[in-house]
Structure 1
């Protein structure tokens, strides 16, 4: 048990897993046992591959992250080889997939050596931006033409509605005037 286990035993006198009675000195013993285990010397997991390192169990992960015998994946795109870390540089020199590499500037393009020599992300991005800008500009002009046509059509409809309104007012005046003329007659 660990520190939170000590807090548990202040409230409860039983193990949370098996419900057996727990004594305080055993908790201390288990902590001491854990420290003793973490100090045990172990061989590297890559001993069969040739690594002769032995280190405390607590440092195993640190060694493994730098062990020259640890198998690592080839970073070349498309290569599925796993080689010992110490042999990775040599593998990369002769890797069949080394010809295809991603652009080091981060544009995402996969390039072979001939394309890589002439590849210029900035120029390509500028060209792509220019093409989009031209496309946006032409769409904007087309939209403006349509808005102008719509504005003209709206103006014509307003004018005709105004004329229709004037005509209806004249008709209403004529209609209102007719019954009075008949009554006088």
Structure 2
């Protein structure tokens, strides 16, 4: 596919159903839902509604935890992370929009552990681009996508949430 859009709502419905089942299998009643800024937060908000949970979600900005921080420098839109309480002993559902290399997830886990040692972390992603550099695997995936070398995927939102695939310019 060279350009186009994917149905985010259909992917979210699938993810919500799979996540509910997985949490039931693991006997997890009230996980802390944490989104990685920005797209992961939008998805976390939608999944929280599907799960019927109330209360604030956690928001991670992993900018300072990235392993390429010294190469890229500080992103001008860095904001503080916000977790409603510590992570010590909590079951956490960590949500991102896209998983590709695994480096964002590694950075998010490092930051989460700075807040405390979670009982468990369930990883959820809207899209898996299957280009791993680190051994990271999501527990719940909306869909997989193989992009060409000059393609990129972008999530825009929060309302409406829309995925677009386009050629790099």
Same fold (TM over 0.5): no
Q: Which has the higher contact order (CA 8 A, sep 6+)?
A: 2
The structure where helix makes up a greater share of residues is 1
Q: TM-score, normalised by structure 1?
A: 0.16
The structure where strand makes up a greater share of residues is 2
